[in-house]
Each structure stands twice: as structure tokens, then as C-alpha cells.
Structure 1
């Protein structure tokens, strides 16, 4: 009975996820040539091995279908099947592992790798690493990102930069010479655009506030990192959460809200409807990832003149660097997989230079591996030039993944934006609840926190 109940629950979660991503949870047999070009899994007399790969990415799935198809053709003893789960990915993984139905390979991201390692979901890959691969990735291996307790679980490929996305045509109409470099300028510019555009339905600013935390994680995060603060509310120097700087940014966003400079209905706006409005020329500015140029080339084609620029900072000074996100990990092998050698063969193939180079050139992500970044051509996608890695982009130390009791910081700050109140009290409450959750997680051994009093955000290593 228990097994039947698990199977039913897993089916419900996966059907829900696949429906949410537009029916793209397609399993498929595909996969390119193996790194060695030989049949995987040993001798040709062995039975065929089926590997399951789960990912929550949609933007690259057509390219991955091609790669997997090539791999399967070149490795007749291995068949890789890919499943795309755009919603409830982590929950689906939890259910799969609890019911002994976990995939062989997983798409890993900075937000879930540590959690998966702590739960025992991932297998270390140290024994598989060759000298060539160690040389290729050594400068990018980071404790707490892809290495935990001295064991390596994943390797980097590409990352996403975050930028202010702006409508140059609305800037010109409003007499704005350049993208804002401070939050004060951003508020002023948003009001100017709204004043000249409101009659035609255009407003100065927008975010996808249907999901407040998601909205802030693509905006406040970058404003803070360029201002010298870790972007998710964590103080690296003290090893504690401190949302005081975060509150300063929220105050400016609230000012835009109160002045009517934010697109009406933004509280129910998801990211794709926001993009559709921007493509239609109705939004002056918003902040988002380097996936946006591809979106406006394929998903929401637009004729407006637009660009990407570094996010503004609290004061106008760039004390830190813009964080390159999701850059430390890509693929990982399940600890419970019965075919780890075959899974590594596929993983090694995916981390080949040709594939990683093409992945960058097609605009699926920005290469962070030095030897790939040096030889890869820049993606020929309109607007991508504003998102390329430069002197103010870098990797940042990871913030511990904590779930507090009560509202998360996104919901708490957005409630303040809508209803007002005492911002200092909001910050104090968040600090208390997040640090309480941090202490509990530390005591359980779920997270490890080491204060770094000498941390200097101006000296972060740039990835160029």
C-alpha cells in the first residue's frame, strides 16, 4: 500500500510539473558522442543501460535533445532519457529519492546542491576526474558550491549575469541620457518615464511581484552585490543574517510604488507576462538574468530598441561586483544510481569543450570556464552585449540555504511595500527568524557557517 501511495504521489507531482512547463517534460533518447567515442558500460556484450536525467531548465532543452541523441547513437549500450520538470523540481527529487525511484543524473544549481549533498542524494566524482579535467576546472572549484567536506560533486559550465534591462526608446522620450547608476536616479528616471508614457500605458519600472522572492532575487540581489553586500541578506563577515542593507533597497522600491511608477497590476505579474509587456514597449526598466536576450529573440520577439546595463547601487558607487549566479554547478550523479560509470561517461561528454563552447555561443549561458571563454565566439543575439562578463562581474561566496518559520524575506518586504509600516521592525523580525533557523540548521549539521571578518567585496576575483 505504501509503495502504491508513493507511486501515485510521484505521478501527481510529475504530471503537475510537466503540465506547468507546457508539456515539455518529454522523455527522450538522445545524446552525443561519448568523450572516448566508444560504447559505454564496458564491452559490446553487456546489456543496454538506461540513464534518466532530470532537469528544471526549459531554455536549452532543444539543444540538449540533439546532444543526447548523438550520445545515444555513438554509445549503443547506453540510452539517456531526459525529463524536464520546470515546476516543483526539488520536491519531485525528494519524493523520488524517498521512494527509491531517483534519476541517475540531476541538473544542479547553487540553490540546491548543498541541500542535495546533505540529504545524501549525490555521488562524489573525485575518482573519475582526470588530470586534464582537473586542469580545466581547478580555478573554479569552490567549497560550498561544488565541493563539500573535501568531496567534489559537480563542475561549472556557464553562469548568468544579472542586469538592468531598459527600453532605450522610453529613455530617449523622457530625456534620460544613460541608465541609472544609483537607486535615487532609478526612482527619478522611473517617474520621468511614467510621466511621459502613462497615457499610452507605459510605466517606468516593473518586477514579477506575483512571486516576491523571485522578483527580489533577480533585482535586489544584484543591487546589493554591486553595493558591497551579499545579495540574499547574509553577512559574510559575521556569518549571520542582516537584512539592514536589503531594507535600504526596498525603501526605494516602495517609493516607486507609492509614486505610481511601477506598472499597475505588478502584484499579480509573472515573469513571462512581464516580458510580454516589455516587448510591447510598456515598461521602462526591470532587472533580470542574461537569459533575456534569447527571450526577446525567440519567445517574445520585439522591435523596440533596448539594452542591458549594470544594476544601480545604493549610493551610486560600485563597492562590490555583480554576482554571476548558477555558475558553480551543472550536472551531478545520483548516489543511488546503479550505473555510475555510464552516468559519468555521459557527464564527461557533456563537459567536452565543443559542447560547452557551443552552449555559450548559442546564448544558453555565459561561459565561466577560462579556456572556453577565451575561444568561444560571443553569442550573436541582439542585446547580449550588455550581459557579457566584465570587470564588475564575479562569483560570490555562497549564502546558507535557510527556511525560516513564517514569511520569507520576499513576502515580508513586499507586504511592507504594499501596506507600509515600520521598516526597522520588518528587518529586525527577519533577522531574528532567519538567524534562529540558521542556528537550528547549524546544530543539526545541515549547514556549515564560517564567519570571514576579512572579507572584502572589492577584491573578489573577476571571471573574464
Structure 2
């Protein structure tokens, strides 16, 4: 089993994660010798309790995660002797996790940030999920959705996607009508097709593009990542 001073690099759903972490965490004492040396059995602590520390910076989903973790701790966790201890950090997340990792005080699981992911892999702060017992069947659930240099480093899986973002599509009806496009796109191929039509007919004044201007994270997804070949970002390494 891995050493507990190295840390798993995925912030997975609790029910899926804990089965991989049976070698780490702090275990509660289950019996105490009496004066004669005989152990006094404590029925409520018959099974050792393993605490899995999980850190995240996703404050917006804290309430939901706390509900999920409480449910797990009171059902499956209670049955298996596992308790998840969940902590959410704020704006200083990157500094917090870096200091903790360097001091060998990082949690068992945490949500990694793309800006330091590769740095942590190279520094040996992560245990590859693909090196853990039972990982083959577990990782099969994510077949086709893992990206090199975001989830996979040096042919090993270090982190996993754990949530989804749903997107609402809003179109410029005037541009669609002007270019003879009747319906909103239903596939990404149609998005590309319609965008090309609008751009080609726009005469340099009208363009087909998608950009969520009121969402801060859109800047990363639509502007910074495509420029990553020049400036470096998730999935891009200037040296290689």
C-alpha cells in the first residue's frame, strides 16, 4: 500500500474514493487495557474508524458536498468504519495546499488546480490512482474522458473529473434569420457549420462565435487554453 505521506490527486465523489484509501487516514482507538491487562471491548468501536481528510476550494458547492458526505458518513461510511472530514478553503487555496504538501501535512484527497498539477506530479506529492489496488476497474468508468497532462501524466492517471457543467445556449436571432438559419444548433457540428456561414457572409463585420461574456471561467476555457501553445497552460508544456 502507498505511504500515507504521499497524497492522492483526485477530488472524487466520496463514495467512489474511499475504497482506494484504506491504507491512509487516522484510526481511532478501539479498546483500552484495564488494570489486569485485559482489553475492555467497546461495542460502539468494534471496527476501526478511518478518517479521510478531503480539501477543496469549491465554496459554491460546499452545502451540497456537506450533505453528500454526511449521508455517506452515516450510512456506507458507518458500516465500513470510514469517516470523511471535508474542509473548504477560500482565495488562498493554491498557497494553502502547496505549504501543506511541502510540510507533509496535505490531506488524503484534494481538488487539484491545473496551474500546479504537473509541479506536484514532478515533485512526487501525488500517488497515481492507476497504481492503487483495484484501480483498473475503477478507472474503466472514465474511459474516453481523461486528458493527457490534465488527468494523465507519464502514462499514469493522477486525477479524475468529478463534476459536470451544463451550458445554456443563447443565439443571436437576427443573425440567424439574416443568414437563413431557422433553428438553434443541436450539435457541436451544427455550431461550427452555422458559425462558418455567419462569418463567411459577414463581410468582416459579423462573425459566428460562442463566448459566455458574463462568466469569469469562460476566459480560461475559450481564450487562455487555445493560447496555451504559446504561453503554457493545462495540457501544454513549452519544453515538449
TM-score interval w.r.t. the shorter chain? Answer: 0.5 to 0.7
**Counterparts of residues 246-325 of structure 1 (less than 5 Å):** none
In the alignment, what sits opposite 2:65? 64
The residue aligned with 2:148 is: 143
Match of 1:238 in 2: none
Q: Does the 8 A contact of 2:53 with 2:85 survive in 1?
A: yes
Asked which structure has the greater CA Rg, the reply is: 2
- Give 3-state SS (helix, strand or coil) of 1:82's partner: strand
Distance 1:102 1:35 in 2: 17
1:232 matched to 2:227? The reply is: yes
C-alpha displacement at 1:93, in angstroms? 0.5
1:82 is aligned to 2:77: no
Partner of 1:399: 236
* Structure 2 counterpart of 1:100: 104
| Structure 2 counterpart SS, 1:128 | coil
Following TM superposition, by how much is the alpha carbon of 1:68 offset from its aligned partner in structure 2, in angstroms? Answer: 1.0
Distance 2:125 2:231 in 1: 31
8 Å Cα contact 1:116/1:122 also seen in 2? yes
SS at match of 1:139: coil
Deviations 1:343-391 (A, max 9, x none): xxxxxxxxxxxxxxxxxxxxxxxxxxxxxxxxxxxxxxxxxxxxxxxxx
Specify whether residues 232 and 159 from structure 1 end up closer, same or farther in structure 2 by C-alpha distance, changes over 3 A only: farther
**What secondary structure sits across from 1:52 in the alignment?**
strand
Query: What's 1:217 paired with?
Result: 220
Q: Contact 2:18 / 2:52 at 8 angstroms: preserved in 1?
A: no
Do the aligned partners of residues 156 and 219 (structure 1) sit closer, same or farther apart at CA in structure 2, a change above 3 Å counting? closer
2: distance between equivalents of 1:207 and 1:159?
A: 19
* Aligned mates of 1:33, 1:117 — CA distance in 2: 22
CA RMSD of aligned residues (A): 4.1
Shift, 1:53, TM fit:
0.8
For residues 67 and 231 of structure 2, the distance between their equivalents in structure 1, rounded to whole angstroms, comes to 45
Give 3-state SS (helix, strand or coil) of 2:127's partner: coil
- Tell me the TM-score normalised to structure 2 length: 0.55
Give structure 1 regions of 4+ aligned residues with deviation exceeding 6 angstroms: 33-36, 40-44
Contact residue 129 and residue 135 of structure 2 kept, 8 A: no
Could you tell me how far 1:144 is from its partner in structure 2?
2.0
How far, CA to CA, are the matches of 1:144 and 1:156 in structure 2? 13
Structure 1 residue 242, shift from structure 2 partner: 7.5
The answer to whether the Cα contact below 8 Å between 2:149 and 2:236 also exists between their aligned partners in 1 is no
Kindly provide the CA deviation profile for residues 64-90 of structure 1, in whole angstroms up to 9, marking residues without a partner as x: 212211221232332212112242221
* Alignment gaps of 5+ in structure 1: 1-30, 188-204, 222-229, 235-240, 244-396, 401-437, 443-448, 450-464
SS at match of 1:75: helix
Give the drift of 1:123.
1.1
Deviation at 1:105? Answer: 0.8
C-alpha change, 1:48 and 1:141, in structure 2 (3 Å) is same
1:34 to 1:101, Cα distance in 2 relative to 1, 3 A: closer
Contact 1:146 1:152 in 2 (8 A): yes
What is the CA–CA distance in structure 2 between the aligned matches of 1:106 and 1:138, rounded to whole Å? 22
Q: 2:206 aligns with which of 180, 185, 200?
A: 185
Hey, what's the Cα distance between the residues in 2 that align with 1:60 and 1:218?
20
Change (3 A) 1:98 1:215: same
Given that residues 54 and 87 in structure 2 are in contact (C-alpha distance below 8 angstroms), is that contact kept between their aligned partners in structure 1? yes
Q: Which residue of 2 aligns with 1:118?
A: 122
